[in-house]
């Protein structure tokens, strides 16, 4: 599943999959702004048929946070 998440993430952000480590910080390392983050979340919701609430977006600080959130929602 992590590779599918990495693929969607890379397509939306135009960031090379090689740069997407679990420790990558969304704002500081990957330079994602709020609009790009929202677009990413919408694409992940569509890809995995899940729903991530707006209040959960604030908790997403790293690529690992995104992976864990998507995995937990997809497996529920």
What is the average per-residue pLDDT within 7-13?
95
Residues 6+ apart with CB under 8 A from 31: none
Determine what percent of the chain is predicted with pLDDT higher than 70: 100
Whether residue 10 is predicted with pLDDT greater than 90 in this model: the reply is yes
User: Where exactly are the structural domains of the chain?
Assistant: 2-74
| 31-34: long-range contacts, CB 8 A cutoff, minimum separation 24 | none
User: How does pLDDT run across 61-71, given as a tens digit for each residue?
Assistant: 999 999 999 99
Residue labelled with tokens 């969607």: 8
pTM as predicted:
0.92
Q: What pLDDT is stored for residue 76 in this prediction?
A: 79
Does domain 2-74 fall under CATH 1.10.1200.10? My reply is: yes
Q: What pLDDT is stored for residue 54 in this prediction?
A: 86
Q: What pLDDT is stored for residue 65 in this prediction?
A: 97
């Amino acid at each position: 599943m992590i590779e599918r998440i990495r693929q969607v993430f890379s397509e939306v952000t135009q960031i090379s999959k090689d740069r997407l480590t679990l420790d990558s910080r969304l704002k500081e390392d990957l330079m994602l702004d709020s609009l790009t983050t929202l677009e990413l979340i919408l694409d992940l919701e569509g890809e995995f048929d899940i729903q991530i609430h707006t209040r959960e977006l604030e908790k997403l600080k790293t690529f690992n946070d995104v992976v864990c959130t998507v995995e937990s929602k997809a497996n529920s």
